Copies of this chain bind each other. A is one copy, B any other.
Amino acid sequence: MATLTMAKAINMGLRNAMKRDEKVVLMGEDIGKLGGVFRVTDGLQAEFGDMRVVDPPLAESGIVGTAVGMAMRGWRPVVEIQFDGFVYPAFDQIVSQVAKHHYRSAGKTTLSMVIRIPFGGGIGAIEHHSESPEALFTHTAGLRVISPANPVDAYEMIQQAIAHPDPIIFLEPKRRYWDKAEIDDSVDVMNKAEGYSRLFDARVAREGSDVTLVAYGPMVKTCLEAAAAAEGEGLSLEVIDLRSLTPFDIDTVVKSVTKTGRMVVVHEAPQFGGVGAEIAARITEKCFWTMQAPVLRVSGMYMPYPAARVEHAYLPDLDRILDSVDKAMEY
């Protein structure tokens, strides 16, 4: 057992994956000597050499595109995009190639690759460093999109993602990199009987009976804080940590909503066309007669991510979540 930050937990997960399978290659700007701008790959180049921990030229399409070529040969590239806002130069390769290759080749080509993206705001960064592009990927069939919310999941999920045969967008909630938790590093995550079979399952992070809060990545912690605060006011909130956005574990959410009849979805991305829209539409369709209030959404706003000094107003926080919970209760 070790107490690790999420950044360190991912680091350990990557190390395990690299030891387990020598076809695992990390690629990303400054991930070598520097250990990445968030130090997630700290020490790995020293340990595995610069053929396995690659500091590529500064060109995201090039990084993802060459990773595709490596994957075509059975390697397992794990790409780090330095910040969310810098994934767009690689968007074409991701949407037209990474997502489609298995289908186009009728399964002959398997692209087992992971694209790690530190995402979201809350760290006071300048523009392009705080975005939440998940909806752009979840709409693209062929990709799987997952996001851990805590160090334990981060540690396990990164290893499972690397072992998985499909391409996976792995969204790391950057403002949670420094959150700590106990990690049991004595168990081989991939040797647990289930392997990666539970990778796409949602998790009930906290049980409750009045309203279901649904979140993923950075907002799970915020929802848990809201639930704790609500308890004081006599409200019982159930918090679901989706963990995976596609596949979307609808059963876990339906089960919860069947109990509560009310749901608030929380994410940092703008509401319009965000992941919350799909969740709301899908759950409403499934649970039409159960819902006692419409699905409400708490999210970022329809604007470019604003200047850091007002991001606190842009980002969903405990108060805004509870405000929506109250609205849901009023129905």
Contact = CB atoms under 8 A, between A and B. Distances in A.
Interface stretch (A150-158, A188-196, A278-286): A278-286
A138 B272 CA distance: 8
A294 to B, nearest CB: 4
A178 interface: no
A100 B272 contact: no
A141 interface: yes
B331 A288 contact: yes
Contact of A281 (B139, B142, B276): B276
Contacts of A85: 96
A3 B294 CA distance: 47
A278 B284 contact: no
A266 to B, nearest CB: 14
Interface in A36-75: none
Interface string A110-141: 00000000000000000110000001101101
Given A127-B104, A139-B270, A295 B285 contact: yes
Contacts of A104: 127, 304
Interface in A281-304: 281-282, 284-285, 288, 293-297, 301-304
Nearest to A136: B136
Interface of A is mostly: mixed
A220 interface: no
A294 B288 contact: yes
A138 B142 CA distance: 21
A86 to B, nearest CB: 9
A96 B305 CA distance: 11
A198 to B, nearest CB: 21
A274 interface: yes
Contact of A303 (B127, B141, B280): B141
B139 A272 contact: yes
Contacts of A303: 103, 141-142
Contacts of A304: 99-100, 103-104, 141-142
Contact of A92 (B88, B274, B295): B88
Contacts of A142: 303-304
Contacts of A331: 288
A96 to B, nearest CB: 6
Contact of A246 (B100, B269, B272, B296): B272
Interface of A: 85, 88-89, 91-92, 95-96, 99-100, 103-104, 127-128, 135-136, 138-139, 141-142, 246, 248, 269-270, 272-278, 280-282, 284-285, 288, 293-297, 301-304, 331
17 contacts: A88-B92, A88-B96, A89-B92, A96-B128, A99-B304, A100-B127, A135-B273, A136-B136, A139-B269, A139-B274, A273-B277, A277-B277, A280-B284, A281-B281, A284-B295, A285-B294, A285-B295
